Structure 1
Amino acid sequence: MIKKIKWKKILLVTVTMIGVMIVVAGSYGWNLVTSTFTNIQENIDRKESEKRLASINFDEGDPFSLLLMGIDEPDEDEGDPYRRSDALVVVTVNPSTKSTQMVSIPRDTYTEIVGLGEKDKINHSYAFGGTEMTIRTVENFLDIPIDYFVRVNMEGFEDMVDALGGIEVENDFDFKYRGTHFEEGTLQLNGADALSYARMRAQDPRGDFGRQERQREILQILIDKGASFSSVTRIEEILTVVEENIRTNLGLGDIWSIQSNYRDALHAIEEHVVAGEDGEMDEVYYYLPDEEKVQELSKVLKEHLEINNESTDK
């Protein structure tokens, strides 16, 4: 069996290798790291979110939220020209309670696309309106503010795996995907195979939830390998991959503050799933969320963020 993937390190890296940059900064060269970090900044026009009336102060230990977005390349072989969010993970962190809540949103979740004026799969929000529309849509879906985001090009997984010399995974069932045979047991994967391993969904008896677990498995392995001392010798290659594939509105100072002031919050992780059921409309598959359960989840997240429910009601 694949070991249960623990999420407690995902915030430290906030997608693959941001944490590695900090780990190796002192030993390799702070100037190179800060230069790379400057190039991955993307301060989109968020204006004032109606769901967040006050700014976040990391030094004072304010709870905050983060949206982790994995963006897929267009599938030109299938005539699809659009980039969509292949993975959406909402993270809320509260240093006072020393706890972290994490919600993985199924990509086919049927919900209102804010700014489009209609309902569709939540992962289509990126194709219609990029990062801004995706954030607004997730905010509306969970009725909480999204303070920060980290966006990753899913193709960057392939480059990162190769930069770290490949990875080893424990595959718990035999399957074939895009011409590659993934046998049950311990597998050594290069970048291309790791990406295929992370993407397969149709043959997984757990469907999209199984794919999410494999993606989290690879993230965890990349983080562990990237943070090891042996990775320092490949830091230039690693930083190049980071610069080409990651964008965020977190500043380097923010990352330092999170590492310093929020570390204990990562020791108590509670994972949530979006309750719902499979459905179909016009012969198109959707994941239909249970609205009552989503409201209950929203209440949990609001309490964790120390938000007055009345201030964010839809």
Structure 2
Amino acid sequence: MGTAQKPEQPRTAGGQTRRKLVIIGIAAVLLAAAWFGYRYWMELGILGDESINIVFIGVDAPVEETVQVVQGWEEGRDYSLALTQYGQKADAVFVGTIHPDTRKFHLLGLPPELIVTLPDGSEGELRAVFAAGGVPAVEQVAEDLLKIPIHYYVLVDYSGFTELVDAIGGVEIDVQTPIRYYDDGELVFELKEGLQRLLGPEALRYVRYRRGSEPDLKRLERQRDFIIGLVDEMLEAVTITQLPTLARYVGELVETDLPWEDGLKMASAVLRRNVEGIDVTMLPVETVDGRCLPDAQGIAAVVAELFYNPSWDKAY
């Protein structure tokens, strides 16, 4: 006797639903992969195969939004308030660079008391360059000092700094030595040694503090430590999806010619590396007769390590 074959079972609605869900799931994965691939391609597009270099300038007074047309500076650059802040010194100058291959972000701190050539050809401290010639002058000094091109600038005043620190809930810092501010002999502010969370006004005093004859390099070290702490806090508080919101907020606190979209792509590329993708180095200097001078050999070695552009040998 032959074995009777079972009749084919009709497809159930539940089976069709499951198949649809599987198809939708696969489509979603492919779509997500395509989106991330597109974002990565866009990051590669903005980073290219050369370092992108940005000068960060912290000024000691509120920045007011004004526009002034300036003749003689690089055409095509937008210095919307670059030459309107004469008389304001720059207490902090850093040159940042994003390496195109490693996606690592390096910050190079320049001491404010570093002796450089001012816009009028005379010698003076780096802190005086902004007062003498604004952002273009600071960019020119950085280019001459490091023998690299500066592509963008970021200018921040102290009100923007304190607002940013407050926005992320403060920054945790290990205070190495007590900090005391006096007014007419009266103690008005004190930070004791140890681990502390600093909010905006306290953080501002911390990064600006300079005790007596203490060299500016000590203050630069505090600024370096604070930047590392700030980055740590931001990485903990902000995810990639929250990055656009933070970027818009930061954009309201600073003056820059860096396009918002490009800045977001750069930040996204760096944040994928987490804190390992960011480091802070200080410019090599030497003291001669009490003056802070550039260490030419040390600077050349640092630039060769941190910055990358195969065409610079021809251009500079």
Q: 1:57 to 1:120 in 2, by over 3 A?
A: farther
1:163/1:238 contact within 8 Å kept: no
Q: Which amino acid aligns with 1:104?
A: G
**Equivalent of 2:211, from 202, 206, 214?**
202
2:218 is equivalent to residue 214 of structure 1: no
SS class of match (2:87): coil
TM-score using structure 1 length: 0.63
CA distances 1:28-83 after superposition (whole Å, capped 9, x unpaired): xxxxxxxxxxxxxxxxxxxxxxxxxxxx9516454211112111229xxxxxx821
Q: 1:183 to 1:130 in 2, by over 3 A?
A: same
Q: Partners in 2 of 1:118 and 1:278 — Cα distance?
A: 19
Q: What is residue 91 of structure 2 aligned with on the other side?
A: 86
Structure 2, gaps ≥5 residues long: 1-43, 63-85, 183-187
Q: What is residue 170 of structure 1 aligned with on the other side?
A: 174
SS class of match (1:123): helix
Q: Partners in 1 of 2:296 and 2:238 — Cα distance?
A: 47
TM-score using structure 2 length: 0.63
Q: Which runs of 4+ in 1 moved over 6 A?
A: 237-241
Q: What is residue 290 of structure 1 aligned with on the other side?
A: 295
Q: What is residue 273 of structure 1 aligned with on the other side?
A: 282
Q: What is residue 124 of structure 1 aligned with on the other side?
A: 128
Deviation of the 1:176 alpha carbon: 1.2
**Equivalent of 1:58, from 42, 46, 50?**
46
**Equivalent of 1:187, from 196, 201, 204?**
196
Q: Which amino acid aligns with 1:310?
A: K
Percent pairwise identity: 25
Q: Partners in 1 of 2:303 and 2:263 — Cα distance?
A: 26
CA distances 1:143-186 after superposition (whole Å, capped 9, x unpaired): 11001121111332223334444444221222312421211113
Q: Partners in 2 of 1:240 and 1:296 — Cα distance?
A: 36
SS class of match (2:156): strand
Q: What is residue 110 of structure 1 aligned with on the other side?
A: 115
Q: Which amino acid aligns with 1:106?
A: P
Worse-matched range after superposition: 135-144 or 222-231: 222-231
Give the length in aligned residue pairs. 240
Q: Which amino acid aligns with 2:133?
A: G
SS class of match (1:146): coil
**Equivalent of 1:158, from 162, 172, 194?**
162
1:198/1:214 contact within 8 Å kept: yes
Structure 1, gaps ≥5 residues long: 1-55, 75-80
User: Which structure is higher in RCO with an 8 Å CA cutoff and minimum separation 6?
Assistant: 1
2:49/2:309 contact within 8 Å kept: no
Q: Partners in 2 of 1:223 and 1:275 — Cα distance?
A: 23
Deviation of the 1:246 alpha carbon: 0.4
User: Rg larger in 1 or in 2?
Assistant: 2
Q: Alpha carbon RMSD of aligned pairs, Å?
A: 3.6
1:126/1:134 contact within 8 Å kept: yes
2:253 is equivalent to residue 249 of structure 1: no
